Amino acid sequence: MIGPNKIVVYSSANCGYCRAAIQFLQSVKSQEVEVVDLTGDWEARKQLIERTRHRTVPQIFIGETFVGGYDELRALDSSGKLDLLLSQVSE
């Protein structure tokens, strides 16, 4: 599950934005990513919706910080804030 030194991406099968987020974090940012596939796991998805108030995937956590989805991830990168957040996870 989510921990202070982990990057977790909640995803589902056939989700292009999920694949894009995982690839971006792994290939561009050289991060180790834990992927949690929610396909068919409605109870886990319901719990995640209650926690984040977001219904769609991907849902990205960097450490214990909820980033949001792929667009929010790329916006953080564009603003220069993503590398700072990632550096806190790899300490």
Q: What is the pLDDT of residues 21-48, one digit of tens each?
A: 999 999 999 999 999 999 999 999 999 9
CA 18: distance to chain centroid? 8
Phi, psi of 65 (to 5 degrees): -90, 120
Q: Is 2 among the domain residues?
A: no
This prediction's pTM: 0.93
**Number of CB atoms found within 10 A of residue 66's CB:** 17
Query: What residue numbers bound the domain in which 65 lies?
Result: 7-89
What is the C-alpha separation between 65 and 35, in angstroms, rounded? 16
Q: Is 18 among the domain residues?
A: yes
Across 52-61, average pLDDT: 96
What is the C-alpha separation between 32 and 25, in angstroms, rounded? 8
Q: How many structural domains does the chain have? A: 1
Q: Label the pairing between strands 7-11 and 34-37.
A: parallel
